[in-house]
Structure 1
Amino acid sequence: MSDLVTCIECGHSPVSSKASQCPKCSKNPHGHSCTFCNTKVADSLAIVDKKTITTTYEDYDFERDRLVTKWYDSIVSDHFHPTCLKQINSIQYNCPICSALHTSFNRSCSKCGHPFEVRLCNHCRQSVLEVLAVKGVGVLGKDNYFHRICANKISIGSISGGRGGK
């Protein structure tokens, strides 16, 4: 009987743990894991963020006898509870030039055009300003960037930098 679950969408029980849709509501009975908090979120409640992630790597070019940088793109779908995404999007930052308040981070200030260094948080894959980011070092020595709330959520051991939001 451990292979039976309750549908996260409509509460119907029993549903097979291997079922792709609920026999009552025809929706995904399992939901998805929230990228931020890692608990289940129903598809009907989830905010889905799809983005293309470019990964670079070095490979040896035998014809030219040297290392070359290559890349590949992958599409990822992140699912969030609305309250989790709201926590991430409530981070505030004042432009150091014109003091305009920002809660969403693009490449530059929307008021004066001052450029911002924007990274993707390695936990939630949402934009984080480098000046606000908690910086960690990955397995291969590559810099990882995190929102302070994401770093706290996953307990980054050796973190540095980042002044946090207001």
Structure 2
Amino acid sequence: MQPHFEQQGDVRHFIHGGEPQEPRLLDCEVAEGEELRIVLAPGTNVGKTLLEVLEGRRYASAVGRLLSGGASHLAYHRMVVTTSEQKPYDYGAPVVLDGYITFVSGAITVGRDPQDKALLHCHAGFIDREGGQHGGHLVLDRIVVGSEPLVIRLCLFNHVAYQVKPDSETHFSLLHPVLQEAV
């Protein structure tokens, strides 16, 4: 199938070129979890410090939110059009911002790479120092906390891990939930 957009009511949906993988929403309950409120000091490297906070903790994966704060430096990716019929969109080159950047929202997923090491994934919206709005996939190890602390809430859980696997519908490697005990 040729990738394309379809209008459904007031919403434009992108139809990927691969076979649809239904259902896309999966539900799983876990018996226990651990909730962390992490406050990162100004000048802190976000990705490096999050991995240090998680080191030694027993969990399979985690999800969380950027609650407040900003950055003095960050890099993020936006989707760009490609020339590939199978994968018409991909992440473009990183966009780099300097100066005070205020986070509006952000969702973090902590998954597992093929070697079962923690893998950080974050999409966020933010405003640059001139008031311009931005959003995309953050490169967490290239974010430096700004002049105010960055507050993050993470919920760590066991029994389900998000693992990077190829997705035949989107032609991206995505974080898929897999039943797995904590390491």
Question: Could you say whether these structures have the same fold, taking a TM-score greater than 0.5 normalized by the shorter chain as the test?
Answer: no
Larger strand share, 1 or 2 = 2
TM-score, with normalisation over the residues of structure 2? 0.22
Flag the structure with more relative contact order, 1 or 2, with Cα contacts below 8 A and sequence separation at least 6: 2
What TM-score do you get using the length of structure 1 for normalisation?
0.23
